[in-house]
Amino acid sequence: MDTNNTEIYNHDDDLEVTHKINTIELENWITHITYIEKELNNLIGLCKQQVNEAEDKESILERFLEKKAKNEVLKMALEKYSLSRANLKECEDMACDMVYISEHESYRLRYLVHLDSYRTIKDDFFSKVQANTEVENNK
């Protein structure tokens, strides 16, 4: 299978369609992780400016920095995985295809867990900023 061609044709079998959808999905993950990388840089800057209490700032900033490092690790893993999918065309049996499908599912889970924890950190940060803003507005 040509992993660069993600157009789905009427003559594609279910396995080819699955691989093409997985390729598109993987490209979207990498794009999203790249965006999160940029967003984390912005959030780290905002955290330094917006969070007043030193203890809160340290905690959130530390969590953002840790997430930034994990984001980079995941991005590199997804890019490496994307390159390895070039070998899909060499699969000659269902067992080989299933290895790729199973691997994709494990990366999907890893990506979703990463997103969930990132959103939690971001929500915590915005809750602190909102609380600080309300305190400032009530002065």
What are the tens digits of pLDDT across the range 20-66? 999 999 999 999 999 999 999 999 998 888 777 767 778 889 999 99
CA distance 66 to 56: 15
What per-residue confidence (pLDDT) applies to 135?
66
| Domain map (residue ranges) of the chain | 14-137
Fold of 14-137: Four Helix Bundle (Hemerythrin (Met), subunit A) (1.20.120)
What per-residue confidence (pLDDT) applies to 139?
63
Of the listed ranges 15-19, 74-78, 82-86, the least confidently predicted one is 15-19
Q: At residue 1, does pLDDT exceed 60?
A: no
What per-residue confidence (pLDDT) applies to 4?
62
Q: Which residues contact 129 (CB under 8 A, 6 or more apart)?
A: 46, 50, 51
Cβ atoms 45, 128 nearer than 8 A: no
